[in-house]
Structure 1
């Protein structure tokens, strides 16, 4: 199966699962309060449906436009803009006839389910898979840094990232995740700490640059494959060969190789590789671009065995996983809120990094991994819940905003006002979708 197909299947499965469960969150309390649900759809059925079947009073179906899903609740002003139904006298089974507190529960049902999905995934993933991460204390020779966003701030390869906003992190993944919303970080060079303040438009620069790397792990140069098209195909290299020296220069890390090769562009150079514990000397051709034409390989497990860093494996008991999973859930929500805050602050430039369906598609791996799938699905579930809480009339948060106004003031907004608000919200939401997916297209063309 092709890598792109594997990504596509994970993408569709994850989104379909989240959409159906989100809409189920509206459907169940609506039925519990004896409110009629006319439609329950995965994807949008503009003009026609791929599948539909009426069971009882509800039509269940699958639309052809994979931009979300919906439940059509009788007597509710939603994206269907069914003004004819709203002009008739209210019926007992309609949404508008129910008490405000019941309508509030119905509207909050979707995001509640999404938050619960994420929490449950984090808990059971912690129990079933445990945690595997690289200890930051085991990284002795700093990180590999090439991104101009960091090098322009004075960061160099070999610098140790020791703290972010004054806080130290035990795990490499936590370090990278918290760097996205940082205000400052501390590096250590030659034993001396240096504090670096990040510019306000840090995220904007990071998201628009061609180099998307952060503080990458320094790993050795191990041969993964020599393509048939390589100018070193017949040089005698084998998979698993570990580069130790190029000419007279020792190369412990992969990042040391490119600058060495630049000095031998268009020449043949002697390289020493380690193979089965023995050193093997090979003459290798360097092309005009300073490349060997070799694809690197190796796994983190192999690099750990060589002493480059230490991988920590943690297993949790059933009850212990509730606390661990709950903490992951809280951390993801708080982290996403911080990112959202920066996105809606124009001066940060973070809005330039907003992505659409292509960006979501790209975060799925091109090999099937249930552990990765559930981790991404949990994050997307939080993202879907948080975005739906935004006070935009076309979203759940907009309906909640008007319901809270009604409950506090005792006055219900008129149907005409709600129709106009829904139209404004719909066009605003459409603009956000176009902007996010436009960013994807721009990056695909110009980056």
Structure 2
């Protein structure tokens, strides 16, 4: 973890917290409700900075878990109930009509949602969008073992995820983990298969969330293991393997499975040597037959030229520009897509088979995700994503979160009867204890990962 990573994280969280709390603060002021405190971070026992302006104490706490506004006459995380024992004053939260209280409570998540929309629209307009187009994988995809367990096969071309067109590799790798089914073009036919949860578990366990499939590329030798079978047989850097015992080998992902069945056996490789760029449809490569013995691990002892894979990958890159009129609705679509993805991820987070909960990261894990040099495009993309995440989390109907207050207020609006004050206080206490326990668990998990080097 570097200071630059920490700086980017704190700056992002500070922006989000301040704007989220402004979402509560502004409607409270508009409805003439007294706001006693406005804090960035929490301030148990003491604060790093504070000043009082117009009856509101503004400050910065020392505990960087978020922030808060303390609204008079409201049961909140401070659990200060002394004022609530007195008759309600006109400027208190509890004296306001239910519809005003609902707007005050929804203000934070509303700001978070529109902030994400604004950031995504700006990024689309000013930076455009870069992505790898699934349709441009001309030879299909190369799939790692974990991806194969999910149901994918090398050579597949991804068409749809849960019946919806899947054009972007970057989102497809994530969406497939949450999907029920995937449609691919396989051997010239459309095939739809159910995603195997064992494969999802394998992808998560092997930290291959963005790497379980990629471009296919030919087998070109880059380096040889000293005294390995390939070197002993006279293979050279730059040689391209195109066949084994007369059977065609077009791609690297085809080589391993064939060699695994030929352990400790003598084979004949078809090798293109001294190849040069194709001119007038003709290549200068010579085809040679090379006798080699496969070792007991099913390997030949060479490393493939992965720069070819990178070149194949670059061919699928698309840079899409947006006009201002296009960027605004595109920003909304991106915001909704992120929100949908975050909701769907609970399918694997709380699944005992996929054990997604083991991959949940807290602040330390998130900080380590930040780039080690300032990357403003990444920073704003992360801020937009996290803004959506905060909006979603705060809407969960748990006492202690905005969603808990919203549920109680809606109950009052539907039934015409306010929830008893004692019930609110007890529910808030339970919610705060639960959230604090969850924080301790997440921080503890982060610290354990940090100590054991599993980040």
TM over 0.5: yes
* 1:100-111 equivalences in 2 (<5 Å): 100-111=98-109
| Distance in structure 1 (CA, Å) of the matches to 2:132 and 2:190 | 22
SS in 2 for 1:152: helix
| Residue deviations 1:120-168 (CA, integer Å, cap 9, x gap) | 11112111111222222211233333253x2334544444333322333
Which residue of structure 1 aligns with residue 125 of structure 2? 127
CA contact (8 A) 1:41 1:63 kept: yes
CA contact (8 A) 1:31 1:37 kept: yes
Distance apart, 1:328 and its partner CA = 1.6
| Distance in structure 2 (CA, Å) of the matches to 1:91 and 1:187 | 64
1:216 aligns with 2:214: yes
The alignment of Structure 1 onto Structure 2 pairs a total of residues equal to: 412
Which residue of structure 2 aligns with residue 283 of structure 1? none
Deviates more, 1:405-414 or 1:327-336: 327-336
Tell me, which stretches of 5 or more residues in structure 1 are unaligned? 233-242, 264-271, 280-287
CA contact (8 A) 1:202 1:349 kept: no
Distance apart, 1:96 and its partner CA = 1.2
| Residue deviations 1:352-390 (CA, integer Å, cap 9, x gap) | 433222332244333322222111111110110011000
1:333 aligns with 2:339: yes
* 1:20-419 equivalences in 2 (<5 Å): 20-148=18-146, 150-153=147-150, 155-200=152-197, 203-212=200-209, 213-218=211-216, 244-245=238-239, 309-340=315-346, 343=349, 349-419=355-425
CA contact (8 A) 2:115 2:384 kept: yes
Q: 1:38 to 1:126 in 2, by over 3 A?
A: same
Distance apart, 1:38 and its partner CA = 1.1
SS in 2 for 1:39: strand
| Residue deviations 1:324-374 (CA, integer Å, cap 9, x gap) | 222222222222222235545666644343322233224433332222211
| Residue deviations 1:197-229 (CA, integer Å, cap 9, x gap) | 223566555434454433234579999xx9xxx
CA contact (8 A) 1:222 1:297 kept: no
Q: 1:421 to 1:221 in 2, by over 3 A?
A: farther
CA contact (8 A) 1:188 1:194 kept: yes
- Compare CA radii of gyration and give the structure with the larger one: 2
Tell me, which stretches of 5 or more residues in structure 2 are unaligned? 227-236, 264-272, 279-284, 286-296
| Distance in structure 2 (CA, Å) of the matches to 1:370 and 1:51 | 28
Q: 1:204 to 1:276 in 2, by over 3 A?
A: closer
Which residue of structure 2 aligns with residue 430 of structure 1? 436
Q: 1:110 to 1:326 in 2, by over 3 A?
A: same
| Residue deviations 1:277-315 (CA, integer Å, cap 9, x gap) | 9x9xxxxxxxx9999899977996x656xxx62322222
CA contact (8 A) 1:134 1:173 kept: yes
CA contact (8 A) 1:246 1:260 kept: no
CA contact (8 A) 1:76 1:96 kept: yes
Q: 1:427 to 1:147 in 2, by over 3 A?
A: farther
TM-score in terms of structure 2 length:
0.77
| Distance in structure 2 (CA, Å) of the matches to 1:341 and 1:152 | 18
CA contact (8 A) 2:159 2:185 kept: yes
Q: 1:158 to 1:299 in 2, by over 3 A?
A: closer
| Distance in structure 2 (CA, Å) of the matches to 1:183 and 1:421 | 36
TM-score in terms of structure 1 length:
0.78
SS in 2 for 1:41: strand
| Residue deviations 1:223-247 (CA, integer Å, cap 9, x gap) | 9xx9xxxx99xxxxxxxxxx74379
Distance apart, 1:192 and its partner CA = 5.0
Q: 1:74 to 1:220 in 2, by over 3 A?
A: farther
CA contact (8 A) 2:148 2:199 kept: no
SS in 2 for 1:40: strand
| Distance in structure 2 (CA, Å) of the matches to 1:428 and 1:323 | 38
Distance apart, 1:190 and its partner CA = 4.2
CA contact (8 A) 1:122 1:325 kept: yes
| Distance in structure 2 (CA, Å) of the matches to 1:273 and 1:129 | 42
